[in-house]
Amino acid sequence: MDAPLTLGSIQFRDFGQTLVARPEAGVTPFLGPGRDPHRRGHGLGLRDPRAGLQEAKRAFVVGDSTLGAVLPSVIESLPGGAVMQYVVADFKTRRASCSRGGRPADKRVLETRAGLRTGRDPVLDAALVAIRASRPR
């Protein structure tokens, strides 16, 4: 980053918090877009700043849509050895709540069983093509 960038906000029951990426002093920032291979079934939200970076056009996500279910949560032990996980806050980017449906990839590429059996990784291959295409010549 060459300037602070708001990635989103977390809203708990009693308070909220804004997540801001700030430039590191003395470091020359990379100002090009990042490329990110995203696997089917993975979440994208609080623990992953890609949603805010994607909205700011600082990340280009390759792969499948996210689940939209990665939110701050707590895991509690219950009697009998069971555990329960429950959400304690919502995460929102500037445009949307990450709890309401997934985020689409910028370039949709699906994995297939047949492709993976051949040792090919179509998501990684597409991300590498996008990286090479974005490099200055």
* Residue 67: per-residue pLDDT: 67
Q: Which amino acid is at 99?
A: S
* Residue 82: per-residue pLDDT: 95
What are the DSSP calls for 37-66, one per residue? Answer: EE-TT---STT-THHHHHHTTSEEEEES--
* Residue 39: per-residue pLDDT: 52
Distance, CA of 68 to CA of 73 (rounded, Å): 14
Other CB atoms closer than 10 Å to residue 35's CB: what's the count?
20
Distance, CA of 87 to CA of 95 (rounded, Å): 21
pLDDT tens figures, 78-96 = 999 999 998 888 888 877 7
